[in-house]
Amino acid sequence: MHRHIVNRPEQAAEEALEGLALTHPHLLAYDRAVGIVTRAQPARDKVGLVSGGGSGHEPLHAGFVGVGMLDVAVPGALFASPTALQVHTGTVAADSGRGVVQIVKNYTGDVLNFQIAGELAEDDAVKTEVVLVDDDLATDAEDDGPGRRGTAAVLAVEKICGAAAEAGTDLVEVAALGRRVARSARTLSLALTAGTHPGADGPAFVLPDGEVELGVGIHGERGTGRIPFADADTLIAQLVDPVVAALGLRRGSAVIAIVNGLGGTSPLDVSVAARTVHHHLGALGVTIERSLAGSYVTSLDMHGISVTLLPADADLLPLWDAPVRTPALTW
């Protein structure tokens, strides 16, 4: 059984947020009663950024609250959308007079609750724009379904919109930039072990030793199929190649890469995966202009890796490089 270091499972998400805020009191504050995380020193006279969604993906989103990224995070319970009222409160809290960009991962509950919250905020004379993040290549489909899921590309959207907002860019432009990043980023994930919900008896699904789940979602959603367990180079190539194809990358392309551990992945494994991503893209003639490797958008204690790529357009790099000071990302 995969056990967790938690108290009552239904309080785990809130207690983790409390722990984060106690560890970083100079960066953020958690209002447990209202259910939002805000900067310790609210920003003034800039476009506000709010994001949120279910918990269980720590450090997302609260770990990205701070100068250069989010103003407010609105966390739901584990794998459950925050309420529309909670998002409304968070959206209003993110406003310093120049409107608020809501960064929303594409899940039905999140989309609905952010939409209602946005309408409520407009009633309060807070202008809002929505950036929908739907980067998960495993859920690409031609039909009229819910569309692709939102996963680790949300981190790139938050970083780049955050830098633009900090630089004084206006609401419409920050949102347009975010939509451009979301549109141009794709992610693919694999899992060796599914995560276990605190309080549950076992993981979301069980894999035989010889198999790996390809295209897994960050809520333990099953993937597109199973592939044989293999060495890192073989496994990670099966994440990189479809993303390269989807983005139409070719020799001479330049990208930003995010190599992401899914929660139970050791730093050793994440670094080995990062090496493969660098070498494999290098062999394809694709230049990695910037990259991250760490556990940023997790799925409880899932042991797995996701790879996110987005084209490193020249105007994005200064925004990527701009200072950021949050619990989970600082430079």
Active site amino acids: 57, 219
Report how far residue 274's alpha carbon sits from residue 211's, in angstroms, rounded to the nearest whole number.
Answer: 21
Pair of tokens at residue 91: 């959206």
If one asks whether residue 161 binds a second copy (CB under 8 A), the answer comes out as no
Site for a second copy, residues 306 to 325, rule: CB under 8 A: 325
Task: Please select the residue that binds a second copy; options are 28, 58, 106, 181, rule is CB under 8 A.
Answer: 58
Query: Which residue number, 11 or 224, has a Cβ lying nearer to a second copy?
Result: 11
Per CB under 8 A, which of residues 36..55 are in contact with a second copy?
55
Q: Which of 89, 139, 169, 295 binds a second copy (CB under 8 A)?
A: 295
Interacting residues of 93 by C-beta distance below 8 A, sequence separation 6+: 36, 38, 42, 50, 71, 72
State whether residue 304 is helix, strand or coil: strand
Give the separation between CA 30 and CA 4, rounded to whole angstroms: 23
* Coil, helix or strand at residue 237: helix
CA–CA gap between residue 106 and residue 58 (Å, rounded): 18
Nearer to a second copy, 118 or 242 (CB): 242
Residue 13, interface with a second copy (CB under 8 A)? yes
Is residue 331 at the binding interface for a second copy, with CB under 8 A as the rule? Answer: yes
Q: Smallest Cα–Cα separation from 69: which of 178, 173, 155?
A: 155
Comparison of 23 and 41: residue with beta carbon closer to a second copy: 23
Using CB under 8 A as the binding rule, whether residue 289 contacts a second copy is answered as: no
**66: region left, alpha or beta (phi > 0 left; psi from -120 to 50 alpha):** left
Element (H, E) at 104: strand 100-105
Nearer to a second copy, 268 or 314 (CB): 268
Using rule CB under 8 A, residue 23 touches a second copy = yes
E strand intervals along 58-99: 72-78
- Selected range binding a second copy among 84-92, 149-157, 192-200, 307-315, rule: CB under 8 A: 192-200
Asked if 106 touches a second copy (CB under 8 A), the answer is no
Q: To which H or E segment does residue 112 belong?
A: helix 108-123
CB 322 within 8 A of CB 69: no
Contacting residue, 59, 150, 162, 311, with a second copy by CB under 8 A = 59
Q: Which of 200, 246, 275, 322 binds a second copy (CB under 8 A)?
A: 275
Residue from 147, 269, 287, 313 binding a second copy (CB under 8 A): 269
What is the smallest separation between the CB atom of 257 and a second copy, expressed in angstroms?
A: 9
Among 158, 65, 153, residue whose Cα is nearest residue 103: 158
Element (H, E) at 234: helix 232-247
Q: How many residues bind a second copy (CB under 8 A)?
A: 63
Residues comprising the chain, all counted: 331
Stretch that binds a second copy, among 16-24, 121-129, 139-147, 217-225 (CB under 8 A): 16-24
Cα torsion angle, 54, 100, 92, 37, sign: positive
Nearer to a second copy among residue 127 and residue 275 (C-beta): 275
CA distance 78 to 219: 9
User: Smallest distance, Å, CB 224 to a second copy?
Assistant: 19
Q: Does 68 bind a second copy (CB under 8 A)?
A: no
Enumerate residues 229-268 that contact a second copy by CB under 8 A. Answer: 229, 231-233, 235-236, 259, 263-268
What torsion, rounded to 10 degrees, do the Cα atoms 140, 143, 146, 150 define? Answer: 10
Binding site for a second copy (CB under 8 A): 1-8, 12-13, 15-20, 22-23, 55-56, 58-59, 63, 192-193, 195, 198, 209, 229, 231-233, 235-236, 259, 263-276, 278, 288, 291-293, 295, 298, 300-301, 303, 305, 325, 330-331
